């Protein structure tokens, strides 16, 4: 992976074609600060050897996969042995805990109606009412490939048309508009226009030059659209180079110097025809990166990182594994695609009260991350003392907890309980039920760092983006009835049980 950081407002990762997705987040003010500073653990190879164990997981029920889901005994007091300091939690039985007010509804995009305006302009007009945050999107497509393409190794303008992009983006049930409607609980709607292809000749220069020279490319569309009518522009290009560059800039940028605009760059981005299938990266259309970058544009600057501590859960010697969280679109998104709850707060999809501050021991309820209720979607547990990682010097002051269910764009969680997972996690299938424990940054970065509370299980090297993502973190979450003692953090956490309305109760104990 080569990283470009010296290009003014550009911060991105340019990957060789063999890597699936790359992205850099952009500060919305056009400044060049490295907002990914918290994600630059970079070295993700191999677990490191740590000192003495500082964390233990004490399963209430040690049987594998399905047995957990069907167990009636959950994490009551003394749920396991050897964990030390197990919490009192009262008796909790799955399905018998009082309702929290969660619902089971998912927000759905109203869709758009296309209208061909000219031979290269298609407008997509929203069918329903605009949502709270309504954005008009201009997708500009630039063909820099020779015809026929000399390298047909994976992307080509011949593989997708402006019509296909428009349908995928605005109308497909696996598309960006559908994704953002669901992830925002109906707070975001998208409509807009696709313009293209513009023929830019055989483009062989480094792909980041398209980003640096974006005004030139935007100007090509001045005869076709009025930028004053749009909030976000996608600069889409295919070139004759083998580089992939995908970046999301915030809404505070502009085109033509006067039009405020978020800008997303999809240079040699892929088009996943198989979205919705079992293919590894088939979670969204046109590809998952289109929604990932739009999340940056809508205010989420960080990523879903993994904490790699070898065979431990957490210590000061852990390293950061960029993009490794397989449960978030801001990470490896193989099992889930909703942004995590901290990211949703950054985009104002949830309000501050829905990421409940916890500063005292007790039992706390959390509703599923995906559903439209306005209840608590996550816990932000203040650490008794901050944790500083030796290598990255990253400082964490909170533990964030969320709960996902296999519905909507998070239906891919079902992969955990199918043979799909065994490619990465030989001991699988796993139960898909669990709560995620993520470190949160003291500097208010909206990145999160997923902890693997079952760090000593075997996984294969056939990860998704970073070797091990799909395997090591497949069993990262705390299962029903388990207690994890995190001495380094001064906390103990128990997944106590599920509520009658699909939520969970989590017991937090300050040690
Ligand atoms: Zn990103």
Write out pLDDT tens, residues 375-428: 999 999 999 999 999 999 999 999 999 999 999 999 999 999 999 998 889 888
Whether residue 89 sits in one domain with residue 121: no
Asked if residue 41 is part of any domain, the answer here is no
- The Cβ of residue 90 has, within 10 Å, a number of other Cβ atoms equal to 13
Q: How far is the CA of 439 from the centre of ligand 1 (A)?
A: 18
Is 44 inside any structural domain?
Answer: no
Residues 89, 110: one domain? no
Please indicate whether residue 155 or residue 313 has the higher confidence score (pLDDT): 313
Task: Find the 247 Cα to ligand 1 centroid distance in Å.
Answer: 7
Helix (H) or strand (E) holding 438: strand 435-441
C-alpha of residue 28 to centroid of ligand 1, in Å: 13
**392 and 458 fall within a common domain:** yes
- CA–centroid distance, residue 323 to ligand 1 (Å): 8
- Whether 388 and 462 map to the same domain: the answer is yes
Q: How far apart are CA 121 and CA 124, in angstroms?
A: 10
Residue 43 lies in a domain: no
At 90 the pLDDT is 40
Centroid of ligand 1 to alpha carbon of 263 (angstroms): 13
Say whether both 311 and 403 belong to one domain.
yes
Q: Residue 92, Cα to own-chain centre: how many angstroms?
A: 31
Residue 46 inside a domain? The answer is no
My answer on whether 82 and 142 are in the same domain is no
Determine the 3-state secondary structure of 449 from DSSP.
strand
**Are 354 and 265 found together in one domain?**
no
Residue 281 CA, ligand 1 centroid: distance in Å = 15
Say how many Å lie between the CA of residue 329 and the centre of ligand 1: 9
Are the beta carbons of 47 and 272 closer than 8 angstroms? Answer: no
Is the same domain home to 160 and 83?
no
Residue 300 has pLDDT above 70, yes or no: yes
Is the distance from CB of 170 to CB of 112 less than 8 angstroms?
A: yes
**N- to C-terminal Cα separation, the chain:** 41
What is the CA(310)–ligand 1 centre distance, in A? 25
CA–centroid distance, 289 to ligand 1, in Å, is 8
Beta bridge partners of 451: none
Residue 344 clears pLDDT 70, i.e. is over it? yes
Task: Note the pLDDT of residue 147.
Answer: 59
Output the pLDDT for position 87: 28
Give distance in angstroms: CA of 180 to centre of ligand 1.
16
Scan for tokens 């294969």, then name that residue: 460
When pLDDT is averaged across residues 324-337 and rounded to a whole number, the result is: 95
Spatial CB neighbours of 448, under 8 Å, sequence gap ≥ 6 = 302, 304, 305, 325, 328, 340, 342, 343, 400, 438, 439, 440
Domain total of the chain: 2
pLDDT confidence band for 339 (50 / 70 / 90)? very high
Average the pLDDT over each of 225-239, 276-290, 432-446 and give the range with the smallest value. Answer: 276-290
Counting beta carbons within 10 angstroms of the beta carbon of residue 185, is it exposed (0 to 12), middle (13 to 18) or buried (19 or more)? Answer: buried
Ligand 1 centroid–CA 510 distance in Å is: 34
pLDDT band with cut points at 50, 70 and 90 for residue 158 = low
User: What is the percent of the chain with per-residue pLDDT over 90, rounded to a whole number?
Assistant: 68
How far is Cα of residue 79 from the mean position of the Cα atoms in its chain?
32
Check whether residue 246 and residue 159 sit in a common domain.
yes
**Which residues span the domain enclosing 254?**
2-35+105-297
CA distance 462 to 469: 8
Higher pLDDT, 158 or 45: 158
At residue 463, the pLDDT reads: 67
Predicted confidence (pLDDT) per residue in 446-457, tens digit: 999 999 999 999
| Whether residue 224 has pLDDT greater than 70 | yes
Distance 346 CA to ligand 1 centre (A): 14
Residue 148, pLDDT > 80, answer: no
Handedness of CA 126, 377, 251, 294 (dihedral sign): negative
How far does the centroid of ligand 1 lie from the alpha carbon of residue 169, in Å? Answer: 18
What is the model's pLDDT at position 282? 82
Flag the least confident range among 155-159, 271-275, 498-502.
155-159
CA of 36 to the centre of ligand 1 (A): 9
- Report how far ligand 1's centroid is from the alpha carbon of 149 (Å): 28
Neighbours of ion ligand 1 (CB under 5 A): 23
CA pair distance 90, 76, nearest whole angstrom: 6
Comparing 161-175, 193-207, 276-290, the range with the smallest average pLDDT is 276-290
pLDDT of residue 121 exceeding 90: yes
Least-confidence region, from 73-87, 100-114, 472-486: 73-87
Evaluate whether residue 100 is within a structural domain: no
49: in domain = no
Task: Let me know whether 292 and 342 are in one domain.
Answer: no
Which residues in 183-299 belong to E strands, given as ranges? 188-199, 232-239, 243-255, 259-267
Same domain, 87 and 154: no
Query: Ligand 1 centroid to 286 CA: how many Å?
Result: 16
293 Cα: distance to centroid of ligand 1 (angstroms)? 6
Tokens coding 232? 């976000």
Q: What is the pLDDT of residue 467?
A: 64
CA of 73 to the centre of ligand 1 (A): 40
Q: Which residue has the higher pLDDT, 499 or 67?
A: 499
Question: Which string of DSSP letters, residue by residue, matches 28-95?
Answer: TT-----TTGGGTT---SSPPP-SS--EEEE-S----THHHHH-SB-S-TT-SSSSSSPPP----BTT
Task: Tell me, in angstroms, the distance from the centre of ligand 1 to residue 25's CA.
Answer: 5
14 CA to centre of ligand 1 in angstroms: 12
In a domain, 51, yes or no: no
The residue from 297, 329, 352 where one domain ends is: 297
Ligand 1 midpoint to CA 115 (Å): 32
Ligand 1 midpoint to CA 23 (Å): 4
How far is the centre of ligand 1, averaged over its atoms, from the C-alpha of 295 (Å)?
Answer: 8
202 lies in some domain = yes
Mean pLDDT check: name the lowest of 73-77, 357-361, 477-481: 73-77
How far apart are the CA of 267 and the centre of ligand 1, in A? 14
Does one domain contain both 209 and 86? no
> Of 297, 320, 349, which residue is a domain's last?
297
Domain-ending residue, one of 264, 297, 330: 297
Distance from residue 488's CA to the centre of ligand 1 (Å): 29
Average pLDDT value for residue range 15-32: 34
Per-residue model confidence as pLDDT tens digits over 131-146:
999 999 999 999 998 7
Distance 291 CA to ligand 1 centre (A): 10
- 294 CA from centroid of ligand 1 (Å): 9
Cα 132 to chain centroid, rounded: 22
């Amino acid at each position: 992976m080569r990283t470009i950081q010296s290009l003014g407002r550009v911060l991105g990762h340019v990957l060789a074609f063999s890597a699936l997705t790359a992205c850099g987040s952009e500060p919305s003010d056009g400044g060049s600060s490295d907002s990914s500073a918290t994600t630059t653990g970079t070295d993700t190879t191999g677990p490191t050897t740590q000192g003495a164990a500082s964390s233990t997981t004490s399963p209430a029920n040690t049987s594998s996969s399905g047995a957990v889901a069907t167990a009636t005994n959950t994490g009551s007091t003394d749920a396991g042995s050897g964990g030390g300091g197990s919490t009192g939690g009262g008796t909790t039985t799955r399905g018998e805990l009082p309702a929290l007010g969660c619902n089971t509804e998912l927000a759905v995009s109203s869709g758009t109606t296309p209208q061909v305006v000219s031979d290269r302009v298609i407008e997509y007009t929203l069918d329903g009412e605009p949502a709270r945050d309504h954005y008009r999107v201009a997708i500009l497509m630039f063909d820099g490939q020779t015809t026929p393409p000399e390298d047909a190794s994976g992307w080509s303008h011949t593989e997708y048309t402006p019509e296909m992009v428009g349908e995928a983006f605005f109308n497909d049930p696996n598309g960006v508009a559908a994704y953002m409607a669901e992830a925002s609980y109906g707070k975001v709607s998208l409509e807009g226009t696709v313009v293209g292809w513009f023929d830019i000749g055989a483009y062989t220069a480094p792909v980041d030059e398209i980003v640096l020279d974006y005004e030139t490319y935007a100007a090509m569309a001045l005869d076709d659209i009025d930028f004053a009518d749009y909030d976000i522009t996608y600069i889409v290009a295919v070139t004759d180079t083998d580089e992939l560059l995908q970046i999301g800039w915030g809404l505070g940028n502009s085109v033509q110097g006067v039009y405020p605009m978020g800008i997303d760059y999809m240079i040699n981005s892929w088009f996943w025809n198989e979205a919705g299938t079992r293919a590894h990266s088939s979670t969204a259309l046109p590809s998952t990166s289109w929604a990932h970058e739009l999340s940056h544009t809508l205010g989420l600057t960080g990523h879903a990182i993994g904490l790699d501590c070898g065979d431990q859960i957490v210590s000061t010697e852990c390293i950061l594994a960029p993009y490794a969280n397989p449960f978030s679109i801001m990470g490896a998104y193989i099992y889930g695609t909703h942004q995590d709850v901290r990211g949703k707060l950054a985009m104002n999809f949830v309000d501050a009260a829905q990421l409940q501050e916890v500063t005292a021991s007790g039992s706390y309820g959390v509703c599923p991350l995906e559903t439209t209720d306005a209840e608590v979607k996550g816990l932000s547990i203040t650490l008794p003392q901050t944790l500083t990682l030796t290598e990255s010097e990253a400082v964490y002051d909170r533990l964030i907890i969320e709960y996902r269910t296999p519905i909507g764009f998070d239906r891919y969680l079902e992969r955990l309980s199918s043979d799909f997972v065994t490619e990465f996690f030989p001991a699988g299938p796993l139960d898909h039920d669990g709560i995620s424990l993520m470190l949160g940054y003291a500097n208010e970065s909206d990145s999160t760092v997923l902890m693997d509370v079952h760090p000593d299980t075997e996984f294969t090297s056939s990860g998704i983006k970073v070797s091990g993502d799909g395997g090591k973190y497949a069993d990262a979450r705390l299962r029903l009835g388990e207690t994890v003692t995190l001495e380094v953090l001064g906390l103990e956490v128990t997944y106590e049980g599920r509520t009658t309305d699909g939520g969970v109760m989590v017991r937090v104990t300050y040690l």
